[in-house]
Structure 1
């Protein structure tokens, strides 16, 4: 039934700054309105709505202000440098410091590789790549290079 993400919404404190940030990530502006601006995540299939608000700093649970963008593995491997070129820093996640490359998440029933970063308002963003599905998960979270080494043995 569900085929993918259709829309997600985030609060932003400065619409112009946020438009610039998401354009640098390669998203196409779909609609610019008075209250909300939409970017295509995948044109005609999914989009991101940004709402300018003075309540961006209000405490929140991270899952309410988090978006994961699916990317190809080759792009994920280059994502840290790509993000830094656009003024975004990869953030530490799950106690891995400093993050030098994607982490592999042993989420049953699918294993993923991911990098995490923030937009200008501190919204949590993620680039994620599925690695394996329907496999027996029996490992701790690790960096991608360690995972690849363990899979080649």
Structure 2
């Protein structure tokens, strides 16, 4: 039945600032009013709603203020530079500096994290071809060396 995620919504304090930020990420503005904007993530397939209001000042909690955008493996390798070219800082996570994407080997995902102007936690994520039975976190280049050495 379920094929993917169609929509997600985030609170923002300044809709115009947020519109500009999400356009930098390459999302296409679909429509907006004075307090709500909708962006296509994949046109006709998935979108993001931004809602201006006091809710944006509620402290962050991952279950309420986190969106992960699916990207290809080759794109995630370039994601840090791509974001920084647009003035968007990548942030440390899992105790690792954001020098390249981070991998959780036993989940086979590579990810890179950044925040929008309201502190909503955003992520680029890609599925990797194989899980490795390790629960620690490591950099993508380290994972590739492990994975390629097992082939």
Same-fold call, TM > 0.5?
yes
Q: Which runs of 5+ in 1 are unaligned?
A: none
TM-score, scaled relative to structure 1: 0.91
Between stretches 26-35 and 64-73, larger displacement belongs to: 26-35
Give the corresponding residue for 1:3.
3
Give the corresponding residue for 1:152.
148
Q: Does 1:71 align with 2:71?
A: yes
Q: Secondary structure at the match of 1:55?
A: helix
Q: Which runs of 5+ in 2 are unaligned?
A: none
- Over 6 Å off, 4+ runs: none
Q: Tell me by how many angstroms 1:107 deviates.
A: 4.8
Any idea what the Cα deviations from partners look like across 1:4-50, whole Å, max 9, x if unmatched?
11000000111111000000100000111233110001000000000
Q: Tell me by how many angstroms 1:79 deviates.
A: 0.5
State the Cα RMSD in Å: 1.3
Give the corresponding residue for 1:18.
18
* 1: CA distance, partners of 2:144 / 2:55: 42
* 2: CA distance, partners of 1:116 / 1:52: 23
* 2: CA distance, partners of 1:106 / 1:152: 13
Pick aligned residue for 2:133 from 123, 134, 138: 138
Contact 2:60–2:120 under 8 Å retained in 1 = no
TM-score, scaled relative to structure 2: 0.92
Q: Tell me by how many angstroms 1:99 deviates.
A: 1.4
